């Protein structure tokens, strides 16, 4: 049945008004509900905490990098304004996956620390962003923040200071701590293998002891042995013990103790074994002034006795030990072919013996130079025209190389070290030439 149009309109208007009223009521409820949400939740959505001066966010995962920036603002702003600019002006700039809010949500960005310092009309400070992304993402975020040119109404400038690798710092800490642990336990414990080796050495070679009122370090064989070896310090005594020599006494200083003089006077043979440095030469001269020495030995140039290996100690001391045991043979010329060299050596030997020096002669037997043994190798590097080199010491590999480079034909010394090749030079000892 058709209704009157006017009546129908009148009937519909109240219904429309009810619907419209319901709609606005719904909007108002939503509005009230929104603003009744606790402020810290709203602030979390914005990126700030309840204090409003720094962002509130989930804890990040393992931090890999610290992105450090500095900023300057031409106006007075708060820390919250700086953080708001960082979040707001980078949002959507690098794509949704690069938004700082999204990176925080997945724990790729940690709590941003901001320091603000205000003057009369400017604000400056620093910002640190902890990140657990790759370095490429860190670089993009840093570049995005550097593009910020406004904080509120004020001009500003952000500058990247550094991207620190937190893991590298952790590695340094780990290495430092590992060294501390190693040092701590190395000083407290001794390995079982080293203990067994020490037992073997001490069982074969004797033990450490002391001698005289000054309690000088020595090995136990010093008291009964017919011959002794004088060295500079305690470490030398220990090293010779390990090599099988238990008749060793340490001088322990440049001043020779009276008890050393008394002991040497009681022994058949006294051997001095000094470090191969300049100080060792001075000690040897001081020792010779108060004690009669039968043999004078010196370690390789620049090397201390305590640093010599058992093999090298054997090379130096074994010939002396054999001579003492079997008797020192009378020197004689081993080969008539060496007669000319023997004549040269016999003239030089009296003034060279027991000086720890080396003499260089030309083909006419004229002296070119005379220097301490410790300086002879360096001296040879700047000399030429040398035919003979005679020294009060041992012919070593290093000396042989220096003599070869200087074009020397013949080298004479008290002993020759074990060399695989003489490089075409004539190497003789004074004993080979019948000189003593």
Report how far residue 400's alpha carbon sits from residue 406's, in angstroms, rounded to the nearest whole number.
10
Q: Tens digits of per-residue pLDDT, 195-248?
A: 666 655 554 446 888 988 888 999 988 988 889 999 998 999 999 998 889 899
Write phi, then psi, for 239 (nearest 5 degrees). Answer: -65, -40
pLDDT averaged over every residue in the chain:
79
Q: Tens digits of per-residue pLDDT, 103-135?
A: 888 888 888 899 999 888 899 999 999 998 888
Report how far residue 43's alpha carbon sits from residue 292's, in angstroms, rounded to the nearest whole number.
94
CB 113 within 8 A of CB 58: no
Q: What is the pLDDT of residue 354?
A: 83
Report how far residue 239's alpha carbon sits from residue 218's, in angstroms, rounded to the nearest whole number.
12
pTM of the model: 0.38
CA distances from 216 to 186, 200, 247, 248, 292 (A): 28, 24, 13, 11, 19
Report how far residue 162's alpha carbon sits from residue 181's, in angstroms, rounded to the nearest whole number.
32
Helix (H) or strand (E) run with residue 151 in it: strand 150-151
**Is residue 60's pLDDT more than 50?**
no
More confident residue, 46 or 212: 212
CB 230 within 8 A of CB 272: yes
* DSSP string for residues in 204-249: HH--EEEETTTTEEEEGGGGT-SEEEEESSHHHHHHHHHTT---EE
CA distances from 13 to 1, 21, 301, 343 (A): 20, 12, 118, 144
Domains in the chain with CATH codes:
56-168 (3.30.70.60), 195-326 (3.40.1360.10), 336-429 (3.40.140.20)
């Amino acid at each position: 049945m058709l209704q009157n149009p006017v009546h129908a309109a009148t009937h519909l208007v109240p219904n429309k008004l009810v619907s419209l009223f319901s709609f606005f009521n719904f909007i108002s409820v939503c509005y009230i509900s929104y603003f009744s949400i606790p402020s810290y939740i709203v602030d979390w959505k914005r990126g700030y905490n309840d204090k409003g001066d720094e962002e509130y966010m989930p804890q990040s995962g393992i931090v890999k990098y610290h992105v450090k920036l500095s900023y300057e603002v031409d106006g007075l702003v708060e820390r919250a304004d700086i953080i708001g600019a960082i979040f707001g002006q980078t949002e959507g700039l690098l794509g949704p996956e690069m938004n700082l809010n999204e990176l925080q949500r997945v724990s790729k960005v940690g709590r941003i620390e901001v320091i603000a310092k205000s003057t009369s009309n400017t604000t400056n400070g620093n910002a640190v962003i902890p990140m657990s992304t790759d370095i490429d993402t860190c670089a993009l975020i840093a570049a995005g923040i550097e593009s910020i040119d406004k904080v509120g109404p004020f001009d500003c400038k952000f500058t990247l200071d550094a991207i620190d690798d937190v893991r590298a710092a952790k590695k340094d800490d780990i290495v430092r701590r590992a060294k501390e642990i190693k040092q701590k336990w190395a000083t407290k414990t001794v390995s079982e293998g080293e203990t067994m080796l020490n037992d073997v050495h001490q069982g074969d070679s004797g033990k450490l002891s002391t001698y005289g009122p000054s309690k000088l370090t020595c090995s136990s064989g010093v008291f009964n042995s017919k011959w002794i070896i004088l060295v500079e310090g305690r470490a030398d005594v220990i090293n010779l013990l390990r090599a099988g020599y238990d008749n060793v006494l340490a001088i322990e200083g440049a001043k020779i103790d009276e008890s050393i003089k008394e002991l040497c006077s009681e022994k058949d043979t006294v051997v001095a074994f000094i470090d191969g440095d300049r100080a060792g030469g001075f000690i040897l001269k001081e020792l010779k002034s108060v004690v009669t020495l039968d043999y004078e030995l010196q370690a390789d140039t620049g090397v201390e006795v305590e640093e010599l290996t058992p093999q090298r100690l054997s090379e130096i001391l074994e010939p002396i030990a054999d001579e003492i045991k079997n008797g020192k043979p009378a020197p004689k010329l081993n080969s008539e072919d060496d007669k000319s060299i023997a004549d040269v050596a016999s003239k030089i030997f009296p003034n060279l013996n027991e000086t720890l020096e080396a003499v260089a002669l030309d083909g006419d037997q004229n002296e070119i130079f005379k220097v301490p043994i410790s300086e002879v190798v360096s001296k040879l590097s700047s000399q030429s025209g040398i035919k003979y080199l005679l020294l009060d010491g041992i012919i070593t590999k290093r000396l042989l190389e220096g003599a070869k480079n200087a074009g020397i034909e013949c080298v004479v010394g008290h002993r020759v070290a074990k060399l695989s090749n003489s490089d075409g030079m004539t190497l003789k000892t004074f004993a080979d030439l019948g000189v003593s």
